[in-house]
Structure 1
Amino acid sequence: MIYAERLAYSMHLAYSEDGASYRSLNHNSGVLFAKATDNENGTMNAKSLKNPFLFRLDNGQFGVVAVRTEANGQRDPQSAGRILFFVTSDLLQYREVGLLNLKTEAYVDDVTCKYVEAVKAYIIHWCDESGNGFQNTITDLFDLEGASNPESAEAPIQSEQIYNIEGIVPRNVIPVPREIAHRLVCKLTVPTNVAIELQESMVAASPEELKAVKATAVYSDGTTALKSVEWMTDAVDWSKQGTYVVEGTIQQQKYEFPMAVNRADPCIARWNGKYYFIATNDADGNQTLFIREADSIPGLIHAEEHLILDTKTYDHIKGLLWAPEIHIIEDQLYIFHAATTGEFLYEECHVMQLREGGDPTQAADWSMPRRVLKKDGTELCEAGKVISLDMTVIQVNGECYAAWSERQFVPVDLGAWVYIAKLDPHEPWKLINDPVLLTKPDYGWANNHTFVDEGPFALIRDNKLFVTFASAAVDATYVVGLLVAELTSDLLDANSWTKGNYPLLTSRSVPGEYGPGHNSYVVDDEGTIWNTYHARPGIDAPRCSGLRRIHFDIDGYPVLDLTEEKDLNPELANVTILVTVHNE
């Protein structure tokens, strides 16, 4: 239920400094998955991989060969006589080159590959399902039909080394350059707070000047984060010149999970100096939307809930109120959400607008929900055949975009795919160009139990646009994937986006949180970015909302699994500073 076959049948990595003891990376979760294959009608066939083998290419990059299987690990008829070949320069982002033809009708059961300098070619050793060994020679692995005919040879030797790693199927060991290894460990290990840096002294004339001083938390990967400090200034006489040793405690806002029970797809937004929380209401079968208002994010935890939409007020809103999001577009407040006129197959994206000067907690101040329209004025999806949901807003470079999930059910179920298009900022329920596909659930972690990519939400950091999205069934195998684009790129060009090979967040990421997903992000008064998400406090428990600080790794990419105890070491939380009071 936690680590299903389509998640498990993937390439995992572990590392060792001494060649003896190994530590698993990425929470002992897969980092490389086989892509699904496409059918003529648009449907996909989920695939997995087994027996991956990592090796160096003659150009210094790395290659991976593996046996492609059906999603559940069984033999894949399309892969008979072939092996799957990938290439990577950093062991993080991989390109699936394709199926390499070994010129045989037999199923490949195991495979290894090595470049032999003496013959300027790669030697592929493999065995069939009966254990018979063979080898092929090929000079160019990227020529998928270029292998020689197979010859009898010794079968690949299975590793007999004992690794103390749960569930491991040992493959091969390969040395890598230290710089690659360092980056790999930093990217695939959750950092921990190892030090606090703080200026030793300062000159101040008021407690406000001292309050502005922040500490820098340093993490095991060399990254940092600013932290506020609560200074104990009772002993300081700000009216007299003098020098004082002032003690302080580094502040860490703690949010116990769950922060809201039976609340999924959560979103927190700031509007006119207040914070608002809204989410899918699982408690009543998604028949209502409630909003909370507070002066701070912590205040939202116990804030009163106000009903702003139900399935009784409007004739066209009759159920399944899903994934509400609050967005500010040109100083106007909107709620994007999904709703149906009755049945599931009529679920579509809608938009509500707050009237000028309105109160977000008052239902009467919100406009009637209206369906999202395409650029020609027709409805986004053909109701009864295609559903749409999880629409979000991305505002960058003076442009306003929408991203959403769309799933065709008739005539065939294609699964849920994520699209992007520009929005009219004056009427943000209208698209102004044709939708562009961003991602479809082609990896095993996205098509487990069902083919779904949904819940996109944007996070802008430095010169990059990150869009996280949720994948697979909304059970304990729900996960979070990542898309990345340069801010200056054409966001309507699918080639501008890179999708990560593995999910950022899974049930293996944070103990006690199952099926994490459907993230959104908010910045608080201190400039800290918070991740709002839902997960389950037990495998079969209800979906509940949570909050966690977002950290950024050595490449500036979001880290979603930095838990509180790793974010701040309690033993480092007490600090001192020498304050000289100087009043002119």
Structure 2
Amino acid sequence: MKRTETAFILCYTRTAQESEVYSEKLAYSMHLAYSEDGTSYTPLNDNSGVLFAKAVSNENETLTAKSLKNPYIFELKDGNYGVIAQRTEADGSKDQESVGSVLLFRSSNLIHYEELGQLNVKSDSYVEDAICYYEQERSVYVIHWRDEDGQYYKNTIDDLNLLDHATPPVKAEAFQLQGNKGLVKDANERNVIEIPQKLGTTIKNKLGRIYNHSVHVPKVIEAASLIELENIRATAIYSDGSTANKKVKWDTSAVDWERAGSYEIKGEAYQQFYRFPIASHRADPCMMYFQGSYYFIATDDTTAGNLRFFVRKADTIDGIEHAEEHLILDQNSYPELKMFFWAPEFHIIGDDLYLLFACSSGEFVDIRSQMMKLKPGGEPIKAEDWEKPIPVIKNDGSPLFTDGITLDMTYVEVDGGHYVLWAQRQFKPVDTGSWLYIATIDPIKPWQLTSDPVLISKPEYGWANNHTFVDEGPYAIIDQNYIYMTLSSALVNATYCVGMLRAARGANLLDPASWIKWNYPLLTSRSVEGEFGPGHNSYIEDREGNLLNVYHARPGLNAPRSTGIRRVHFDIDGEPVLYLTEEEDLNPELRSVASTLVIPER
């Protein structure tokens, strides 16, 4: 291939930093950088990992976190890509279960990966480094590796899926990689692979930053009134080829709407942005539009033990910031509900409005998912208009879970089905961490499951088990083709982050195989400057049709959890992007627009 038809991808790991900044579980993953000329490289995914080793499931259902080192990308015989690496313990030390083996992955696009498992190179020694390549002449893969004593060996294998079918190792010459050339700061650089330019562009668009690079309006606009003109939208075009419609504030001071003709007009493309934070000490936020008003609720972090829920009401979304708070539930409302009032969500289920939340009778291990129904004709800001909360139960009438806690329940209605998803953490007999479950419900009686709970996600990756094993906070974005389920993971500090599951519309959502999990998080402390530990999302559509991400983050490394709002962008593939800053969403230098307004004869 000619150089103009190719791009270059560098893989590397990073040097671990402070625990809340970039710990071993994040640093010891495969990172990628992109280059068009093979000389200057740009780190992708905000210089964060894109490929993580999966945790190991133990007999008692706990997980043991793993990391990887020395990743090496190679081309497969079918034109796809493989990655070979050494699996390590979470902190990068030797993995006792990885003696004599290397870890393999497959990818069609170097964005999403399938972990094939540990390939046995038939040695009693640790593999310290390895490369792999396909040898066309013999139609075999060659695994070339170095052991802990500095000796080099080779194996061959016909099919990388047959992990125990490698030939016995034979002594081999040493191999050398390019060595660190300082292409990426603080990187432990591995190899560079040359790829087709089209694939390189896809990788850059998916894992690089998307930004607005042009704004267009029609050259000629025909409108008979200001209302018709205001319905014309500007088209913002982004670096990956995606678009978004923007309202335009037109200057029509020189326009006589009673006189037909042509007028040269100017305007400014406009997007509503919200300062961060809009509410301090408010976490796990949720917003809804109901009966002509916007309502906001969140976990109250101002009291130890999270002892109450307040609701705000406003005519506009930005009005929520300074709206009055109304207490609707606290530790004095019911004897069985005393503390840990967590993660409230408004949902219309069937014909009724419900508040889904978690709460405890007083002990942490007693936290349970609850539903509270608004009385017919009720006002959500009035405590007396809510019925008594009901604990969620299984389809046989038994408690949802008795060996641990349940929390962060959400509701999804799609393709004629009604579902709840929630986080569940087992404590007895051992702490397994927080996992995500799904089940069906009947909207007539939504607090009782109509199917058995089904596990769909564990915190297997280093970004999800960073300091603690947690997948929680699910919330759905639904489009014509897919259900995107964002989730939050890791410890609720600056390491908190947002990941994603995806299922196809029409798939059996109770089949775990229907859900694909992204190997890397969508939103982290490295995504938006000054926002640490973003997570626990919910979504609402504004009056302009924009989907907004309502989330919490910290305005400083150790600052309180606080609520933010940001527009959700959809990339060239229709997948949600959660990080766009104001400048990336609508470039200030491109907002001025002009057109010819034609007022027709009446």
The question of a shared fold, defined as TM-score above 0.5 by the shorter chain, is answered with yes
- Is 1:460–2:507 an aligned residue pair? no
Aligned to 1:536: 554
Q: Distance in 2 between matches of 1:436 and 1:314?
A: 31
Aligned to 2:416: 398
CA contact (8 A) 1:274 1:293 kept: yes
Aligned to 1:520: 538
Q: Distance in 1 between matches of 2:596 and 2:183?
A: 49
- Is 1:364–2:384 an aligned residue pair? yes
Aligned to 2:407: 389
Alignment equivalent of 1:132, drawn from 148, 151, 162: 151
CA drift of 1:242 comes to: 2.6
Q: Aligned residues, how many?
A: 582
Aligned to 1:159: 178
Alignment equivalent of 1:337, drawn from 339, 357, 363: 357
Give runs of aligned pairs for residues 48-67 of structure 1, distance below 5 A.
48-67=67-86
CA drift of 1:58 comes to: 1.1
Q: Distance in 1 between matches of 2:180 and 2:462?
A: 28
Alignment equivalent of 1:308, drawn from 328, 350, 366: 328
CA drift of 1:248 comes to: 1.1
Q: Distance in 2 between matches of 1:354 and 1:189?
A: 44
For the residue of structure 1 that corresponds to 2:187, the secondary structure is: coil
Aligned to 1:545: 563
Structure 1 residues 298-332: Cα deviation after superposition (integer angstroms, max 9, x where no partner): 11111111111101110011000000001111231
Structure 1 residues 505-537: Cα deviation after superposition (integer angstroms, max 9, x where no partner): 111111111111111110011100000111111
CA drift of 1:500 comes to: 0.7
Q: Distance in 1 between matches of 2:184 and 2:343?
A: 38
Aligned to 1:46: 65
CA drift of 1:49 comes to: 0.5
Aligned to 1:492: 510
Q: Distance in 2 between matches of 1:234 and 1:430?
A: 60
- Is 1:501–2:535 an aligned residue pair? no
Aligned to 2:25: 6
Alignment equivalent of 2:216, drawn from 190, 197, 210: 197
Output the amino acid matched with 1:282. D
- Is 1:79–2:98 an aligned residue pair? yes
Q: Distance in 2 between matches of 1:367 and 1:513?
A: 37
- Is 1:321–2:341 an aligned residue pair? yes
- Is 1:470–2:481 an aligned residue pair? no
Q: Distance in 1 between matches of 2:300 and 2:232?
A: 41
CA contact (8 A) 1:196 1:218 kept: yes
Q: Distance in 2 between matches of 1:238 and 1:58?
A: 67
Q: Distance in 1 between matches of 2:175 and 2:150?
A: 9
For the residue of structure 2 that corresponds to 1:364, the secondary structure is: helix
Structure 1 residues 98-155: Cα deviation after superposition (integer angstroms, max 9, x where no partner): 1000110101111101111122211111111232222112222211111122222233
- Is 1:565–2:556 an aligned residue pair? no
Output the amino acid matched with 1:14. A
CA drift of 1:554 comes to: 1.6
Q: Distance in 2 between matches of 1:456 and 1:338?
A: 14
CA contact (8 A) 1:131 1:155 kept: no
Q: Distance in 1 between matches of 2:540 and 2:601?
A: 39
In the alignment, structure 2 segments of 5+ residues that lack a partner are 1-19
Aligned to 1:437: 455
Give runs of ≥4 in structure 1 deviating > 3 Å: none
Output the amino acid matched with 2:206. K
Q: Distance in 1 between matches of 2:251 and 2:349?
A: 42
- Is 1:225–2:244 an aligned residue pair? yes
CA drift of 1:161 comes to: 4.3
Structure 1 residues 256-281: Cα deviation after superposition (integer angstroms, max 9, x where no partner): 11111111111111111211111101
Aligned to 2:11: none
Aligned to 1:279: 298
Output the amino acid matched with 1:294. A
CA drift of 1:583 comes to: 4.6
C-alpha RMSD of the superposition = 1.1
Q: Distance in 1 between matches of 2:66 and 2:322?
A: 45
Alignment equivalent of 2:317, drawn from 277, 280, 297: 297
- Identity among equivalent pairs (%): 52
Q: Distance in 1 between matches of 2:378 and 2:473?
A: 28
Structure 1 residues 218-258: Cα deviation after superposition (integer angstroms, max 9, x where no partner): 01111100000111222212122232112211112121111
Give runs of aligned pairs for residues 92-131 of structure 1, distance below 5 A.
92-131=111-150
CA contact (8 A) 2:180 2:188 kept: no
Structure 1 residues 530-583: Cα deviation after superposition (integer angstroms, max 9, x where no partner): 001111111111111111110011211100111111011111111122112235
Q: Distance in 2 between matches of 1:219 and 1:462?
A: 22
Output the amino acid matched with 1:48. S
CA drift of 1:19 comes to: 0.9
Q: Distance in 2 between matches of 1:279 and 1:156?
A: 56
Alignment equivalent of 1:244, drawn from 248, 263, 278: 263
- In the superposition, the TM-score normalised over structure 2's length comes to 0.95
